[in-house]
C-alpha cells in the first residue's frame, strides 16, 4: 500500500468517526446504532494501517486478491445490516400496531362508554 | 353468557348499516364494528345503525382489525365472540346456531363452511385450488376434515380469543395456520354449514397475482413455523388460557 493510499484511507476513516459522533451529539443518530458504525470505522482503520492483516485474511479464505476480501466482507456486513434493520422494523411494527389498537380502544371507551346492551337498543 | 359480534370493516359505508340491521333480527349480542381506517362514512353509518364503533387511526388490515376486536372482547369480559365480514357476505341467519353450539360447549371454535351443503356462493378456480390444498394440509397435520379453512365466519369462546390477543397471532392472514395452531393447542374446532354471498362489489383480499403468491408464501411459512413449534409448549399455552 502506498503512502498516499494509506493517508486517503486514514482521512476517510476519521471523517466517518467524526460524522458519527456529530450525529450522536445532535441527537440524529441513537447511541444504540452508533456502535455498529464506529466498529466498522475501527475495522477499516486496522485494514488501512495493517495491510498485511488483510493479505493474511485473503490467503486464509482463499481470495485471489485483498480487494476481493474487502468486497466480500463489505457485502456480508451489508447483509447483516439489512437483517438487523428488518428485525428493528418488525419490532417497531408490533409496537405501532399495539399502540394504535390501544388508542382506538381507549378512544372508543372515552366517546361511547362501555358497550353493554349495544346490540339491544331497548336495554340501553 | 356475555356475547359479542365483531365486524372488521374497511370502506363499507354502503353495506354496514344493512349488515347490522340483519344481525339485529337474529341476536341480542353486542355488535362491535372495527373501522379499519376507512376513508368513507363507515364509522358514522355503523354508529347510526346502533353498533359500538372502534376506529383505527389508519388502515392496518383485516387481521389487525380482528385482533383489536379480540382485545376489546377480553377487556370487556365477553364469554363468546363471533366474527363476520362487514360486506354482507356472511348471512346472519346462522348466528343463533353458532352461539347455541358454543354455549353447549360442543367445541371451542366453530367455523362457518360454505362447502357443507347449504349452497350459495362458491369462490373462483384459483381460490378453490388454494382452499383444496390447505384442506389437505390440515387433514395431514391435524387428522381432521375442515372443508372451509379460509372462512372468516367464526365463533369462539373466551379461552380461544384470549390467546389471539398476543403478538403470536398471525395478523397478515389468519386462517388455515390458526386452525392448525388451535388444534395443536388442544382446542376443539368444528364446522357449521352456512350460506355465503359473493362480495357485492366483487372485492377480495386475494385479488391479483402478486397478492395470491404472497398469500401462499406467507401461509406456507406460517404453517411451517407452527409445524416446528413445540407441541407441548402449545398445549400448555392452550391449557393456561
Chain A CA closest to residue B54 = A108
Query: Do A103 and B57 lie within an 8 Å CB cutoff?
Result: yes
Q: What is the pLDDT of residues A26-79, one digit of tens each?
A: 999 888 888 888 998 999 899 888 888 889 999 999 999 988 998 999 899 899
Q: Which positions in chain A touch B71 (Cβ < 8 Å)?
A: 101, 105
Among B190, B207, B100, B84, CA closest to B147: B190
Query: Do B55 and A108 lie within an 8 Å CB cutoff?
Result: yes
Distance (Å, whole) CA A91 – CA B240: 26
Query: Do B55 and A116 lie within an 8 Å CB cutoff?
Result: no
Q: Is residue A121 left, alpha or beta, with left meaning phi > 0 and alpha meaning psi from -120 to 50?
A: alpha
Query: Do A116 and B30 lie within an 8 Å CB cutoff?
Result: yes
Q: Is A4 on the interface with B (CB under 8 A)?
A: no
Distance (Å, whole) CA A51 – CA A45: 10
Distance (Å, whole) CA B123 – CA B137: 19
Among A49, A54, A53, CA closest to A10: A49
Contact residues, A window 102-121, toward B, CB-based 8 Å cutoff: 103-105, 107-108, 112, 114-121
> Which of B36, B38, B54, B76 is most worth mutating to test chain A (most A CB atoms within 10 A of its CB)?
B54
Task: Give me the phi and psi of B191, to 5 degrees please.
Answer: -120, 155
Contact residues, A window 56-95, toward B, CB-based 8 Å cutoff: 94
Task: Give me the phi and psi of B5, to 5 degrees please.
Answer: -120, 125
Q: What is the mean pLDDT of residues B190-208?
A: 75
User: How large is the greatest C-alpha to C-alpha distance in chain B, in angstroms?
Assistant: 47
The three cell numbers of residue B57 are 387511526
Distance (Å, whole) CA A1 – CA A51: 7
Query: Do A120 and B32 lie within an 8 Å CB cutoff?
Result: no
Q: Determine the distance in angstroms separating the CA of B212 from the nearest CA of chain A, rounded to an integer.
A: 22
Distance (Å, whole) CA B162 – CA B67: 10
Contact residues, A window 26-55, toward B, CB-based 8 Å cutoff: none
Which of A113 and B9 is assigned the larger pLDDT?
Answer: B9
Query: Do B28 and A120 lie within an 8 Å CB cutoff?
Result: yes
Of B65-74, B83-92, B121-130, B176-185, minimum mean pLDDT range: B121-130
- Count Cβ atoms below 10 Å from residue A74 Cβ, excluding itself: 11
Distance (Å, whole) CA B159 – CA B142: 20
pLDDT of residue B119: 61
Residue B153 has pLDDT above 60, yes or no: yes
Residue B53 has pLDDT above 80, yes or no: yes
The three cell numbers of residue A92 are 417497531
pLDDT of residue B118: 61
The three cell numbers of residue B211 are 397478492
The sign of the CA dihedral B158, B163, B167, B169 is negative
Q: Which positions in chain A touch B29 (Cβ < 8 Å)?
A: 119
CB B102 within 8 A of CB B187: no
> Which of B3, B68, B73, B78 is most worth mutating to test chain A (most A CB atoms within 10 A of its CB)?
B68
A and B: number of Cβ contacts within 8 A: 61
The rounded percent of chain A whose pLDDT value lies above 90 is: 56
pTM of the model: 0.83
Task: Give me the phi and psi of B90, to 5 degrees please.
Answer: -95, 115
The rounded percent of chain B whose pLDDT value lies above 70 is: 90
Distance (Å, whole) CA B158 – CA B6: 14
Question: Which of B24, B30, B68 faces A104 most closely, judged by CB atoms?
Answer: B68
pLDDT of residue A124: 37
CB B88 within 8 A of CB B169: no
Distance (Å, whole) CA B81 – CA B169: 16
CB B95 within 8 A of CB B82: yes
Query: Do A119 and B67 lie within an 8 Å CB cutoff?
Result: no
Which of B140 and B205 is assigned the larger pLDDT?
Answer: B140
Distance (Å, whole) CA B28 – CA B43: 21
| CA-to-CA dists, residue B200 to B141, B150, B208, angstroms | 35, 19, 18
- Provide the mean pLDDT of chain B: 88
Query: Do B53 and A112 lie within an 8 Å CB cutoff?
Result: yes
The three cell numbers of residue B22 are 340483519
The sign of the CA dihedral B164, B165, B170, B171 is positive
pLDDT of residue A121: 45
- Which DSSP state fits B93? G
Query: Do B30 and A119 lie within an 8 Å CB cutoff?
Result: yes
Query: What's the pLDDT band for B200 if we cut at 50, 70, 90?
Result: low
Cβ contacts of residue B64 below 8 Å, gap of 6+?
A97, A101, B36, B56, B171
Amino acid at each position: 500500500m502506498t503512502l498516499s493510499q494509506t493517508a486517503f484511507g486514514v482521512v476517510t476513516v476519521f471523517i466517518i468517526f467524526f460524522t458519527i459522533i456529530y450525529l450522536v451529539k445532535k441527537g440524529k443518530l441513537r447511541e444504540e446504532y452508533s456502535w455498529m458504525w464506529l466498529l466498522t470505522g475501527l475495522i477499516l482503520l486496522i485494514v488501512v494501517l495493517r495491510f498485511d492483516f488483510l493479505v493474511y485474511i485473503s490467503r486464509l479464505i482463499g481470495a485471489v486478491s485483498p480487494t476481493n476480501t474487502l468486497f466480500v466482507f463489505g457485502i456480508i456486513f451489508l447483509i447483516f445490516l439489512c437483517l438487523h434493520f428488518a428485525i428493528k422494523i418488525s419490532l417497531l411494527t408490533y409496537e405501532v400496531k399495539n399502540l394504535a389498537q390501544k388508542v382506538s380502544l381507549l378512544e372508543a371507551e372515552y366517546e361511547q362508554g362501555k358497550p353493554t346492551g349495544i346490540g339491544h337498543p331497548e336495554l340501553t | 353468557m356475555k356475547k359479542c359480534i365483531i365486524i372488521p370493516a374497511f370502506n363499507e359505508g354502503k353495506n354496514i348499516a344493512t349488515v347490522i340491521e340483519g344481525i339485529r333480527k337474529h341476536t341480542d349480542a353486542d355488535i362491535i364494528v372495527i373501522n379499519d381506517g376507512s376513508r368513507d362514512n363507515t364509522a358514522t353509518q355503523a354508529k347510526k345503525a346502533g353498533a359500538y364503533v372502534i376506529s383505527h387511526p389508519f388502515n392496518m388490515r383485516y387481521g389487525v382489525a380482528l385482533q383489536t376486536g379480540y382485545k376489546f372482547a377480553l377487556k370487556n369480559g365477553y364469554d363468546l365472540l363471533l366474527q363476520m365480514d362487514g360486506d354482507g357476505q356472511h348471512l346472519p341467519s346462522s348466528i343463533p346456531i353458532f352461539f347455541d353450539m358454543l354455549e353447549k360447549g360442543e367445541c371451542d371454535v366453530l367455523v362457518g363452511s360454505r362447502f357443507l351443503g347449504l349452497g350459495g356462493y362458491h369462490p373462483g378456480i384459483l381460490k378453490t385450488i388454494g382452499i383444496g390444498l390447505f384442506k389437505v394440509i390440515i387433514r395431514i397435520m391435524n387428522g381432521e376434515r375442515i372443508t372451509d379453512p379460509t372462512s372468516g365466519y367464526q365463533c369462539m369462546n373466551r379461552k380461544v380469543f384470549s390467546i389471539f390477543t398476543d403478538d403470536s397471532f398471525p395478523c397478515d392472514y389468519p386462517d388455515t395456520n390458526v386452525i392448525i395452531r388451535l388444534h395443536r393447542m388442544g382446542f376443539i374446532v368444528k364446522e357449521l354449514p352456512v350460506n355465503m354471498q359473493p362480495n357485492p362489489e366483487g372485492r377480495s383480499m386475494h385479488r391479483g397475482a402478486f397478492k395470491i403468491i404472497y398469500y401462499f408464501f406467507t401461509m406456507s411459512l406460517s404453517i411451517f413455523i407452527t409445524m416446528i413449534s413445540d407441541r407441548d409448549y402449545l398445549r400448555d399455552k392452550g391449557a393456561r388460557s
